[in-house]
Structure 1
Amino acid sequence: MFGPEKTEDLIRHIRLAYEQDAVLRVDYQSSPSSRAGLEYTVTNVYDGFVYEINGVKVTAIQVDHGEVKPAFGYRIDYAGRSVVISGDTTYSENLIENSQGVDVLIHEVMAPALQVLLRNIYKDEATVNSIIATHTLPADAGKVFTQSKTRMGVYTHLINNPAQLPELIEETRKTWSGSLEVAEDLMVIEIGRDINIRRP
């Protein structure tokens, strides 16, 4: 298991939550499973942490998600191709620095549709603004795409409300003129000389 500090606390509590179920299945129901699946080790991740296996290199990038500290995005490099996944973040210079020239930058966005949803859930504008402040507005995400010189920007962390996508795109186009996609569940991004999108 890899994660920021306190990951071990999270995993330990999850394991405790399922401990009785595991005991029942393994010790009393003769499940073919064993308790070995409950064993774990945790490696703490920090800014610049690198994990490599079979030619795949994953680098942790510390980002800014307000009071959630630390927060990380990740860069994946393999066979001369690269992808960055921002994770939850505001505009981040560190993310830009570590995303230079990537093929695809998958970036979270506080899309207009999500802002509307938040205002419907929380009637207190201060609460809504505090949530929005920990994420990236479309024009700022566009700046990240532009400054990182990515081949393609891809949005995630949003509600795909077709009626509100034009506003998202319009705001982004103020700062990014390159290739832009809005992610959806089960979408596949194939990266080679060309970048191809397959939608479900």
Structure 2
Amino acid sequence: MISGVLIGFEVLKKISHVFLLVALYLTAAGGDANAGMSVEGAMSDALQSYSLDKGMYVVITGSGSALPDPKRAGASAAVVVDGTVLQFDFGRGVMENMMLSGINPMDIDYIFLTHHHFDHIASYGYYLIANWIAGRQEPVYVYGPEGIEDLTQGAYIMNKSNIEFTKFIVKNWPERLKRKPLAEPPYVVKDVDSGVILDTPKIKITAVRTPHYPDDISKSLAYRVDTPYGSVVITGDTGYSDDVIKLADHADLLIHECQKPDPGMVKGGKMTAEAFQKPSKKRPQTHHTTPTELGKIANLAQVKKVVPYHLPPYGSVPKAREMTSLYTGEAGLDIWAKYITAIHKNYEGPVVLAEDTMVFRVGGEPVDQAGEDAK
């Protein structure tokens, strides 16, 4: 069902025009990770020449982990279905990556937050204020685990001075100027839990809880998007989960966190310590997923393609690696090859390591209920 991928902007902008054309040709023609795919676009200028208005697309708006990484924004993804934009999580750098991928952040229709950890909501408050100031006229609908209203109100409290200033500007807005901001920031929030949380003629969203941290602290969710074009599952943060396996059953695309290296992949780091590899009485669940575990999940769910994201800053700039080494340890240049090899121990399908601004096209023509191409 998945027929396209856009190579990350940060990679392509470093390639000369000639080599870019060659790379795009080779990607479209085949290769292990991208076999059977066609390239939808390239650098930011080219992104303006194609449209996401028809079909189903997945945009990696952030592929990184919790701490700063100039090469990877906070873990997040946008799903675009016939122009309807669904944004999953809102970490640092999300809006900038949306713009690089040809999406206006003001066009977001729905936001789905997987949980309330700072790296998944870092740009959420900023977006709500910027969206309002830029003149959005329709509310954005926000779904997430219990506490979304408090989270949203907290964002407004933090930006109180800016909100009052904007209200003053709106009150004295010159009539000659168009797209006047509304009197109040436009949003509608809803706490959700496991089950079907959105069901429209074109889009169905199902959520399940994930084992990220104890529910008495806060809940964490993964989401499945079903459309006439195909299906996508986005996990947010999670350890190995039977519920995620059921949710991802035969999905076209599984975007799954892979924060935690397998034992022996890196040197040092709290994440790779033995105490963090297995559940215990003090820690009855694992908080993140290893490549080997991800391969098992993908195999059992029989998904068609896997995109590991929420990746540590291995290979990033020295100061990013230095800042995060306490948690992620130190890795060699072959770390990503090790990731893919570990996933392939249990999963034979294609694996594409996420990069910021990568775009996947899911399906072609819509599929009817009988499972055949719609005429």
Alignment match, 2:7: none
Contact 1:112 1:167 in 2 (8 A): no
Distance 1:76 1:117 in 2: 37
Q: Distance in 1 between matches of 2:334 and 2:363?
A: 32
| Residues 1:148 and 2:301 aligned together | yes
% identity of equivalent residues: 27
Gaps of at least 5 residues in structure 1 are 194-200
The separation in 1 between residues aligned to 2:268 and 2:189, in whole angstroms, is 35
1:189 maps to a residue whose letter is F
Matched, 1:35 2:183: yes
Residue 316 of structure 2 is aligned to residue 167 of structure 1: no
CA contact (8 A) 1:111 1:168 kept: no
Assess if the C-alpha contact under 8 Å between 2:194 and 2:209 holds in 1.
yes
Q: Which residue, out of 345, 356, 362, partners 1:191?
A: 362
* Alignment root-mean-square deviation, CA: 2.9
Between 1:41-50 and 1:75-84, the stretch displaced more is 41-50
Q: Secondary structure at the match of 1:64?
A: coil
Distance 2:337 2:212 in 1: 26
Amino acid at match of 1:59: T
Distance 1:34 1:118, change over 3 A: farther
Is the counterpart of residue 69 in structure 1 residue 218 in structure 2? yes
CA distance in 2: counterparts of 1:117 and 1:17, whole angstroms: 39
| Distance across 1 between alignment mates of 2:189 and 2:152 | 9
| Higher helix content, 1 or 2 | 1
**Over residues 101-141 of structure 1, what are the superposed CA-to-partner deviations in whole Å (9 max), with x where a residue is unaligned?**
1101111012539x85982xx69x588668x9310011111
Q: Which residue of 2 aligns with 1:82?
A: 231
Whole-angstrom distance in 1 between the partners of 2:210 and 2:286 = 14
Q: 1:18 to 1:116 in 2, by over 3 A?
A: farther
Equivalent position to 2:166, from 25, 46, 56: 25
Q: Which residue of 1 aligns with 2:34?
A: none
Query: For residues 136-158 of structure 1, what are the alpha-carbon distances to aligned partners after superposition, in whole Å with 9 as ceiling and x for unaligned?
Result: 01111101100000010111000
- Whether the 8 Å CA contact 1:22–1:35 is kept in 2: the answer is no
Q: Give the counterpart letter for 2:205 in structure 1.
A: V
- Map of 2:122 onto structure 1: none
Gaps of 5+ in 2: 1-141, 174-179, 278-282, 316-332, 365-375
Aligned-residue offset at 1:63: 1.0
Q: Is the 8 A contact 2:260 2:288 kept in 1?
A: no
How far the C-alpha of 1:6 sits from its partner, in A, is 1.0
Q: Give the corresponding residue for 2:148.
A: 7
Higher RCO (CA-CA < 8 Å; seq separation 6+)? 2
C-alpha separation between the residues in 2 aligned to 1:170 and 1:43?
40
CA distance in 1, matches of 2:274, 2:158: 35
| CA gap 1:110/1:172 in 2 versus in 1, 3 angstroms | same
* Alignment correspondent of 1:102: 251
Quick one: distance in 2 between partners of 1:25 and 1:191? 40
Larger mean Cα displacement after TM superposition, 160-169 or 40-49: 160-169
Tell me what 1:196 maps to: none
More strand by share: 1
Deviation at 1:178, TM superposition (A): 1.1
Distance 1:117 1:50, change over 3 A: farther
**Structure 1 counterpart of 2:181, one-letter code:** S
Aligned length: 188
Contact 2:212 2:237 (C-alpha < 8 Å) held by counterparts = yes
Q: Secondary structure at the match of 2:336?
A: helix
1:117 to 1:190, Cα distance in 2 relative to 1, 3 A: farther
Counterpart check, 1:56 vs 2:203: yes
What residue identity is the alignment partner of 2:289?
T
